[in-house]
Amino acid sequence: FLSLPFLSKRIGSYSLLITGIFVSSLSLLGMGLSRSLIFFGAFFLLSTLAGYLYGTSNVMVLINLDPQRSKTNIPLMHLTYSIGGMFSGLYIAYLKRSQWYYGYVQMAVLYALLAILFLVFRPQQARTWAKPKYQSLGSGFSLLKDAQFARFLFFLITANAVEFCAIIYPLAYITEVLGGKASAIGSAIVILHGSIACSRLMVIPLLKQGFAPKRLLLILSLVCATGLLLLAFSSSLGVALLCLSLLGLGIGAVNPVSQVLEITQWPQDLMQLANLRSMGSTAGRMFMPLLVGLILTTFSLSSVFLFLACCMVLSLLVLLRSRM
């Protein structure tokens, strides 16, 4: 997080992308070949750091390659994430079975090929893309002084944290409270990720037609909060799965639409936006489960969904106050 302004100033977003993918390839290979927890943990940490590099720079590359289609390309990128996540889980669960860890080695080979392809087919215009001109460490985080951006960042951190928890804790609710078996968990995962993919698919034509991103975010947040609220009071598996579909429709497109909003509001420093977004999302996903854990020490899982719904409404109100 702190080093990204320096790295982006020195080598640019495209080189950061290639570096992150190549290091991820080495990390995945190490994870697949590790036979001790220490080595696996070390390579996993390296993979996380490398993922931060290409995860923040890929949006920059996407925008610079085709600035005119950013409003459709960004949601398409997130749609690809959700579809890829569904198929990778299916691959690991049903094809590899007891040798699922070989998937790390196969992904390492794929990542290496991707890095080579990005290097060989490097676009000519990548050399001319403007690099950030940060004069000091603080100038790489100057957007934090903008009150409107601070409100937007609060919304972003909260929404990402709620999304992270909303994917994990409903599965625990289905098994521990509703008594769901493995088939119910499988159905819940498919329904949740399927509705997330549908959400990301639906916003593409809306953004293309000029629908205001902020208005879309407000609607999506309200749908998400409603899904969480109904899930807290669901007493049967069928109702819970229906609530999950509503939850996925709400939370699914928040990330792509918020990215479209930020690049239209603060286009002067896209790398700083990507860095603050990544770190903010990481911080939210670190601390929200701690708060949820505190709630679970005293209250039930239903209370967790009420808490997450309140957090989503709070972030909605903060976003509503911003002038964007």
Q: What pLDDT does residue 270 have?
A: 74
pLDDT digits 0-9 by tens, 189-228: 778 888 888 898 898 889 888 888 999 999 999 999 999 9
Q: What pLDDT does residue 274 have?
A: 76
- Burial class of 44 by CB neighbour count within 10 A (0 to 12, 13 to 18, 19+): middle
Q: What pLDDT does residue 218 have?
A: 93
pLDDT tier for residue 24 given thresholds of 50, 70 and 90 = very high
Residue 209 DSSP symbol = T
Q: How far apart are CA 270 and CA 268, in angstroms?
A: 6
Query: Spelled out in words, what is the top-level CATH class assigned to the domain 144-321?
Result: mainly alpha
Pair 303, 295: CB distance under 8 Å? yes
Domain segments of the chain: what residues? 4-126, 144-321
Q: What pLDDT does residue 135 have?
A: 54
- Burial class of 166 by CB neighbour count within 10 A (0 to 12, 13 to 18, 19+): buried
pLDDT digits 0-9 by tens, 125-153: 766 655 555 555 555 677 888 888 889 99
Q: How far apart are CA 20 and CA 279, in angstroms?
A: 16
Could you tell me the pTM of the whole model?
0.75
Pair 309, 225: CB distance under 8 Å? yes
